Amino acid sequence: MAPKKLVLCTFAVFALFLSFGCFINRDTLPDPIDLQVEGQPTIGYPKAKVHVVVFEEPKCINCREYNDEIYPHIKKDFIDTNKIRYTVVPVSFLPGSMSAAIALLCVYHQDPVYPNNEMFFKYIDYIYTHQPSENSDWATTEKLQEFAESTSPAIDLPKLGECIEHETFRVQIEKNNAYGKEIMEGRLTTPTVYVNGIKVQKLDYSSVKELIEELLAKEGVN
């Protein structure tokens, strides 16, 4: 066989191998779970076929690290480019964190008719960026109002304070806790990330990105 034909043949075989390998890899993804997260804070492209869902705890140190080190890359590469939907399910299981979890939903539902997704994500980002020690009892109404004031002038501070004091969204947070335990087989851990119902096993950006891209290749954007 002539050298040129041999090179072309080798390239074709290699390309076929890569294509077949990708097909096999996509075909052997773990079985997804059917996540029910309607009404939870969500940003991104509403019609996107790839949906990332994250369970987060406001006092969780690992959540802070996820927010600082992984989420910005997800936002830049997939949310801001309208490739995915992204949902956060706020939960509370650490001592003294319930007020902070409630405050997140107070901000989200400041206008009961029009939940504010963008404001929720700004507020949770500010909380994680300025998160005090997990062992300190920092989630007071005053501190959460202080965080809110620094997040946006659009947050109604007196209304937020009243919402926290009345524990308006405690029942919803408790429902989130119960749902998280149910799908995580009895042990609620945060942050836990699902992509189209498939749990990310190794929580680093490379692993999250790989799974998102694999599902985008399989499902498309819309």
Contact 173, 92 (CB under 8 A): yes
Structural domain count of the chain: 2
In 3-state terms, what secondary structure has residue 31?
coil
Clarify whether residues 56 and 26 are in a common domain: no
Clarify whether residues 86 and 191 are in a common domain: yes
Give me the domain span that covers residue 78.
42-219
In 3-state terms, what secondary structure has residue 220?
coil
Clarify whether residues 100 and 25 are in a common domain: no
pLDDT tens digit sequence for 175-202:
999 999 999 999 999 999 999 999 999 9
From CA 126, how far away is CA 110, in angstroms rounded?
Answer: 17
pLDDT tens digit sequence for 116-138:
999 999 999 999 999 998 788 99
In 3-state terms, what secondary structure has residue 192?
strand
Q: Identify residue 178 by its one-letter amino acid code.
A: A
Clarify whether residues 52 and 25 are in a common domain: no
pLDDT value for 29: 85
173 Cβ contact list (under 8 Å, min separation 6)? 90, 91, 92, 98, 101, 102, 105
Clarify whether residues 92 and 9 are in a common domain: no
Clarify whether residues 91 and 133 are in a common domain: yes
Clarify whether residues 46 and 110 are in a common domain: yes
pLDDT tens digit sequence for 142-165:
999 999 999 999 999 999 999 999
> Is 98 a member of any domain?
yes
pLDDT at 211 over 80: yes
Clarify whether residues 22 and 116 are in a common domain: no
> Is 36 a member of any domain?
no
> Is 35 a member of any domain?
no
Clarify whether residues 106 and 206 are in a common domain: yes
Q: Is the dihedral of CA 38, 43, 47, 51 positive or negative?
A: negative
> Is 105 a member of any domain?
yes
Clarify whether residues 79 and 181 are in a common domain: yes
Find residue 84's DSSP bridge partners: 50
Clarify whether residues 74 and 142 are in a common domain: yes
pLDDT value for 30: 87
* Buried-exposed string 80-102: b where 16+ CB fall within 10 A, e elsewhere: eeebbbbbbbbbbbbebbbbbbb
CATH number of the domain residue 79 falls in: 3.40.30.10
pLDDT tens digit sequence for 3-24:
444 444 444 444 444 443 443 3
pLDDT tens digit sequence for 29-81:
889 999 999 999 999 999 999 999 999 999 999 999 999 999 999 999 999 99
Residue of 82, 51, 56 lying closest to 67 (CA atoms) = 56
From CA 178, how far away is CA 66, in angstroms rounded?
Answer: 22
Clarify whether residues 81 and 186 are in a common domain: yes
